[in-house]
Amino acid sequence: MSVKIAIISDLHLGIGRNTERSEDCWDAAREAFEKAKDCDLILLPGDIFDGRIPRPEDWAKCMGILSNVKVPIVAIHGNHERRGKGLINPVEGLEHAKFLKYLHCKSKVFDIKGRKISVFGMGWVPEAYAKEVLHNCNPQPVEGAYNIFVLHQSVSPYVFNSIEPPSLTLEDLPKGFDLYVCGHIHWNVMDKTHGKPFLIPGSTVTTQVNKSEAKNPKGFYIVELDDDVKINFIKLDSARKVYYKEFKVDNNKKISDITEEIEEYLNGINEDKKPLVRVVVRGSIGKGSNLDLRYLKDKYRDKMILSVGVRVSEEELEKKIKLLRDVMDERVSIMDIGMRILRENMNEMKSSFDFEEIFEFLVDGNVDGAMAQLLSNLDEFVNKSKNPSVDMSGLQRWVS
Ligand SMILES: [Mn+2]
């Protein structure tokens, strides 16, 4: 008898609230679970929720969906759900309510139709630490089981965000597993490592309108274990179509020609459900030319959800704009940039502070926790500080 495992990743429940797309993540989640209902096990490789502190409305809807699932669910947390030490992340929250089994640096064996299925899970950690954490976890396959290894990281060559380079490559994943599964990346991938399948289902909902997401359908995997292993990608019909197109311009092109070209392209798009359309204009235009395409969004409002990017500038400036855009698109980058700055500053002060812990307290708005952590290290800090320019008077006020 065959065993079917559904792998549904990056549901991002709660994304796009108060926008035209607020129901998209829920439509996708409902469709995915509906299409997975004859499966025997459901694997969620992180970013179930879009936020680390979901709103009650999102909890309620999510639990409504999960409460209809009759088979075991196993999950890890993604970068969107990670919280500091000692704090409960929302995936753990779902485990407390018995909706699923939560794994972080551990495994769980399921007995399904007389077969042993072992899942080893590692939730998201900042990319810089992924290799070390993986090494410390020391994942081992379970003998006599079908062994699945699941994580939520960039795994080179599959990189979510160029700001945060991966420390892991496909080759670094632990040997001896039958199937490797990765969340985090929002487009679907079927590759191999150590001679076994490496699957990225991609997100069920479009989070960024870019080239990769435009040419790649939304959906999830069903892995069917019989005498052999069958892997099927199940497309989601509820997903909005995504269109992405770049227009090149140069100094010789007239503004009216550019707008005409873009409108011609937009006029050719016709979908029942408003598609997500992104148009990007690149190149350089003559000094003083005013390329303002904001009117397009209103003009096509009834036909599509349109965003327009105008990237006409010199190269160095363009790089900086890209960095800013990436930062705006992905919250984790801000966290990582923040953490990097904090770490650099603290290294400069030659302190032995646990900057990561302090940063996590700050991210969670727990200023008291951060302060307590600072104060507990203060004596050591004062003794060790070799930097006479550090003004300690402000901090010492707190301990006196
Ligand atoms: Mn994600």
Is the pLDDT reported for residue 107 higher than 70? yes
Residue 321 pLDDT: 66
Pairwise CA distance, residues 111 & 72, whole Å: 10
Residue 292 pLDDT: 82
State the distance from the centre of ligand 1 to the C-alpha of 358, rounded, in angstroms. Answer: 24
State the distance from the centre of ligand 1 to the C-alpha of 207, rounded, in angstroms. Answer: 8
What size, in residues, is the chain? 400
Give yes or no for a contact between 53 and 88, defined as CB atoms under 8 angstroms apart.
no
- The tokens describing 17, both together, are 């609230």
State the distance from the centre of ligand 1 to the C-alpha of 79, rounded, in angstroms. Answer: 7
State the distance from the centre of ligand 1 to the C-alpha of 14, rounded, in angstroms. Answer: 12
Read off the pLDDT band of 389 (50, 70, 90).
very low
Segment of 238-252, 276-290, 306-320 carrying the highest mean pLDDT: 238-252
Residue 374 pLDDT: 72
Which architecture does CATH list for 3-235? 4-Layer Sandwich (3.60)
Taking CA atoms, 379 is separated from 282, 349, 390, 393, in Å, by 55, 14, 14, 13
Domain ranges of the chain: 3-235, 242-312, 332-399
pLDDT one-digit tens code per residue, 141-173: 999 999 999 999 999 999 987 788 899 999 999
- The tokens describing 133, both together, are 């954490």
pLDDT one-digit tens code per residue, 324-359: 777 776 654 666 777 777 777 666 665 556 666 777
pLDDT one-digit tens code per residue, 186-235: 999 999 999 999 999 999 999 888 887 788 999 999 999 999 999 999 99
Is the pLDDT reported for residue 115 higher than 90? yes
Residue 388 pLDDT: 44
Residue 158 pLDDT: 95
* Ion ligand 1 — residues with CB < 5 Å: 10, 47
Tell me the mean pLDDT in the region 256-270. Answer: 94
pLDDT one-digit tens code per residue, 268-302: 999 999 999 999 998 877 666 677 888 999 999 99
Is the pLDDT reported for residue 399 higher than 50? no
- The tokens describing 345, both together, are 């500053």
More confident residue, 29 or 323: 29
Pairwise CA distance, residues 47 & 63, whole Å: 15
Residue 386 pLDDT: 46
- The tokens describing 362, both together, are 């700050």
More confident residue, 252 or 114: 114
Taking CA atoms, 237 is separated from 27, 71, 217, 218, in Å, by 10, 23, 10, 8
Taking CA atoms, 88 is separated from 95, 126, 150, 218, 335, in Å, by 10, 18, 20, 30, 18
Edge to edge, the sheet with strand 276-283 lists 242-249, 276-283, 305-312
Residue by residue, DSSP assigns 328-395 as HH-HHHHHHHHHHHHHHHHHHTT----HHHHHHHHHTT-HHHHHHHHHHTHHHHHHH---TT---HHH
Residue 330 pLDDT: 62
Three-state secondary-structure class, residue 3: strand
More confident residue, 4 or 360: 4
State the distance from the centre of ligand 1 to the C-alpha of 66, rounded, in angstroms. Answer: 19
State the distance from the centre of ligand 1 to the C-alpha of 368, rounded, in angstroms. Answer: 30
Is the pLDDT reported for residue 367 higher than 60? yes
Residue 23 pLDDT: 97
Residue 371 pLDDT: 73
State the distance from the centre of ligand 1 to the C-alpha of 186, rounded, in angstroms. Answer: 6
How is residue 69 annotated by DSSP? -
Pairwise CA distance, residues 119 & 142, whole Å: 9
State the distance from the centre of ligand 1 to the C-alpha of 228, rounded, in angstroms. Answer: 31
The average confidence (pLDDT) of the chain is: 87
Pairwise CA distance, residues 310 & 296, whole Å: 12
Pairwise CA distance, residues 8 & 24, whole Å: 15
Which residue type sits at 78?
A: G
Percentage, residues of the chain above pLDDT 90: 66
Name the nearest CA neighbour of 176 among 222, 133, 144, 199.
144
Interacting residues of 61 by C-beta distance below 8 A, sequence separation 6+:
13, 26
State the distance from the centre of ligand 1 to the C-alpha of 224, rounded, in angstroms. Answer: 25
Pairwise CA distance, residues 66 & 121, whole Å: 20
State the distance from the centre of ligand 1 to the C-alpha of 4, rounded, in angstroms. Answer: 24
Question: Bridge-partner residues for 360, per DSSP?
Answer: none
Tell me the mean pLDDT in the region 72-99. Answer: 96
Residue 400 pLDDT: 33
Three-state secondary-structure class, residue 311: strand
Residue 100 pLDDT: 98
- The tokens describing 176, both together, are 């001896």
